[in-house]
Structure 1
Amino acid sequence: MTDISTGLIHHPYLPPQGFEAPQPAVHKASTVFFPNVAALHSRDWKHKTGYTYGLHGTPTTFLLEERLATLEGGRHCLLVPSGLAAIATVSLSLLKSGDEVLLPDNAYGPNKALVQGELRAYGISHRLYDAMDTADLAAKLSDRTALVWLEAPGSVTMEFPDLPALVRLCRARGVRCALDNTWGAGLAFNPFELDADGLAVDVSVHALTKYPSGGGDVLMGSIVSRDPALHMRLNMTHMRLGLGVGANDAEALLRSLPSLPLRYAAHDAAARGLARWLAGRDEIAGVLHPALPGAPGHAHWKALCGTRDRAAGLFSVVFDARHTRERVHAFCDALRLFRIGYSWGGPISLVVPYDIGEMRDPAVTRWPHAGMLVRFSIGLEAAQDLRVDLEQALATLALAV
């Protein structure tokens, strides 16, 4: 080779093997080399026994998938670019034209938008059910129902359903069920062992954007299952949709995972303390936190999560009805440590106001509160500092009366 460019590209040096360090190596690739044509034709990416193309996995993504499967109590995992992508991949894989999908009325909003948009256009119908009423789900299951979505707790309003009862019902009717397990994060409960007999959901999806990342800087989702045939069906849909994640994002998740239990516990402890304190405030009509007695579904949370005694650092409050939308918005604006922003699970506390009357179907569930709702995601700041911030913002409500 007489040209330096060729010499640099085809340089023969290979570093010695056997290097080990706390963090795994980051493998970036679109093209993957094969030693010969036989290897090109024989390698199998589907079972993680070889590498064929970067989109179908590298050592970095395979390693992250295996660790996440262990975290959630499953056997197989697929990585996708976001939590919503995980939801969409499951629905697109398991539903076809003529099928029906059921969602709880308190489901994650973009999941509802997906069924109302693309899935409806593909000839897939949907119905909403009351997650706190197992009989309502039973009444709405039909011969066309091919998938039931579950959430524990519900999005924003935080009702904790009788998850084992809902799954048993799906099992009895022969209908697959998929759980959005982002709140539980694989720590509050095991979605594949919901009782002593091994009751399990079929699929658990997880927005890794939240607690597994922990930095508010990574978008990623996972799809975890136990059944090999179901995993392969999901895997082939995943491949045909061309879904993949960046190696640097996978690296960030691998670096964050070891601290996940510690961070989750810290978020939980601070959130429970602040939620209890807010429950005693005159400005607040109700606190929605599954681990607090009196909250919707507290008994279900205690039955499923009480042994581990874990809950996410997320809760909502309902303001007394005398405080108008404008006043509640001004309260949020007055907060100094809490930032206004979507998502949760990162180091910075967040706040978002919601008008639940615009988010729930009154024909399915009746929202019992008249006041505005505000959701808090508790970060890793000192709880006392957050309390002081809440106090000074609540004081602005008194000035407005």
Structure 2
Amino acid sequence: MASISTELIHHPYTPPDSFAAPQPGVFKASTVIFPNVAAMREREWKDKSGYTYGLHGTPTSFILEERLCALEGGTQCLLAPSGLAAIAIVSLGLLHTGDELLIPDNAYGPNKTLSEGELRHWGITTLYYNPMDPADLAAKISDKTRLVWLEAAGSVTLEFPDLPALVRVCKSRGVTNALDNTWGAGLAFQPFDLLPGSGETLGVDISVHALTKYPSGGGDVLMGSIITRDAGLHMRLKLAHMRLGIGVGVNDVEFVLRSLPSIALRYQAHDATARKLAHWALQQPEFVQVLHPALPNSPGHAHWKTLCARGVDDVAAAGPGNAAGLFSVLIDPRHTSAQVDAFCDALKLFKIGYSWGGPMSLVVPYELAEMRTTWPAWLAKGTLVRFSAGLESAADLQADLQQALQKLHS
């Protein structure tokens, strides 16, 4: 008889496979067991026909990938340990020494610092274009350009570009484009079908999503995704993903799977609160400009309305899931940076912290001049503060903002 340790490791019992529950099972593995050598040699890691090693996926991660494809309208998905890691995989997988990369000047900051750091060290050139001017993008594409990053809405300043026009420029020049779709989350618009009902098929090549935000919804998970519809492009990225040894923890996958069914309801709630607060902010003399795509005077509002609120006249009451939960304000430049910091410190419900999409409202002041190559012509002068509306009462959040404004005058 075998020792108890051997018996426990090699115990023959397996449970029946008919178990069903609202949440998928959590399968964790580094090693995957094969029935025989022939099966090990025949099994293919590049598709979902079987399992070879934990880094290449388990039933749990495969389920999340497929559900994310349904959310964004893609057909293939890769998971990464953060949104920034997903961005890095795209740039590292598609660019080589001597290539050129174009990034919108309002892009997510770590994407820019990655390009100015590692990519530059590896001989890849980065140029910045005006996201509100498709002609500027067209003028800057050269025969060395291999990748164009897109964002809608822009990071921090939330201007909304003419996304279909930017995609058309890329396609007319044969250049791959990748969209940071974290703000849209697959709910504000469909990245692979930008003109539904028009008879024209137009979509981005790649959609990158920081699952850290709305898909997680708890402020406690870091994860990213890369979604495509092009099998060849997906395989180029998948090979880079494999060679870099990129993987995600299955417990984190479990958390995102648990939150995903409620994403539309939560997105709608964040959206509704942010719109109420943004409209209130318009009435405050301390704010010289309020940035929120659904506001008629916000940069790119017409583009947002065409893409995200098609056929809706009253955008303040536009349907659920059209504008996320972010808004920014520019505080009158007569107020010092110290006063703006004191305003942020005085907030009680809005906590100071990066990221967004969780239950708690957040606030961050930014030094915008340090983040842009030039001050955008469509922005007023002042100190920028970005707010993320959480799931608290809108009335309570408004009262919190109101009491904190007193600090601007003290």
Given the two structures, how large is their TM-score scaled by the length of structure 2? 0.96
Is structure 2 residue 61 aligned with structure 1 residue 61?
yes
Question: Hey, what does 1:247 align to over in structure 2?
Answer: 250
What 5-or-longer segments of structure 1 have no aligned partner?
none
CA distance in 2, matches of 1:190, 1:359: 28
The answer (yes or no) to whether the contact 1:81–1:245 under 8 Å persists in 2 is: yes
3-state SS, counterpart of residue 103 of structure 2 = strand
- Encode CA deviations 1:355-391: one digit per residue, 9 max, x unaligned: 11111102x8446422111000000001011011111
In structure 2, C-alpha distance between the alignment counterparts of 1:367 and 1:259, rounded to whole Å: 36
1:137 corresponds to which letter in structure 2? L
Quick check: 1:211 aligned with 2:211?
A: no
Q: Residues 264-319 of structure 1, C-alpha deviation per residue, up to 9 Å, x if partnerless?
A: 00000000000000111111101000011100000000010013741110010011
**Could you tell me how far apart the structure 2 residues matched to 1:35 and 1:273 are?**
59
Letter in 2 for 1:337: L
Secondary structure of 1:186's aligned partner: coil
The one of 331, 344, 347 aligned to 1:332: 344
| Structure 2 residue 385 is the aligned partner of structure 1 residue 374 | yes
Instruction: Specify the SS of the correspondent of 1:161.
Output: coil
Aligned counterpart for 2:296 among listed residues 290, 293, 297? 293
Is 2:342 the partner of 1:342?
no
Residue 2 of structure 1, CA deviation: 3.1
Structure 2 equivalent of residue 385 of structure 1: 396
Conserved 8 A contact 1:271-1:313: yes
User: Secondary structure at 1:147's aligned position in 2?
Assistant: strand
Matches within 5 A, 1:1-400: 1-195=1-195, 196=198, 197-307=200-310, 309=319, 310-362=322-374, 365-366=376-377, 368-398=379-409, 400=410
Question: Match of 1:385, SS?
Answer: helix
Q: In 2, Cα distance between the equivalents of 1:125 and 1:365? A: 23
Q: What is the CA–CA distance in structure 2 between the aligned matches of 1:2 and 1:378, rounded to whole Å?
A: 60
Q: For residues 64 and 210 of structure 2, what CA distance do their matches in structure 1 show?
A: 14
Question: Which aligned segments of 4 or more residues in structure 1 are displaced greater than 6 angstroms?
Answer: none
* Mapped partners of 1:198, 1:218: distance in 2: 34
Deviation at 1:14, TM superposition (A): 1.3
Q: Distance in 2 between matches of 1:396 and 1:172?
A: 52
Query: CA–CA distance in 1 between the matches of 2:394 and 2:101?
Result: 41
Listed one character per residue, the Cα deviations across residues 216-235 of structure 1 (whole Å, up to 9, x for unaligned) are 00000000000111111111
Q: Given the two structures, how large is their TM-score scaled by the length of structure 1?
A: 0.98
Distance 2:270 2:227 in 1: 24
SS at match of 2:50: coil
Deviations 1:151-190 (A, max 9, x none): 0011101110000000001010111100000000000000
CA contact (8 A) 1:152 1:161 kept: yes
In 1, distance between residues paired with 2:8 and 2:134?
66
Note the C-alpha offset of 1:93. 0.8
* Mapped contact 1:360–1:367 kept (Cα < 8 A): no
Instruction: Determine the C-alpha separation between the residues in 2 that align with 1:395 and 1:119.
Output: 45
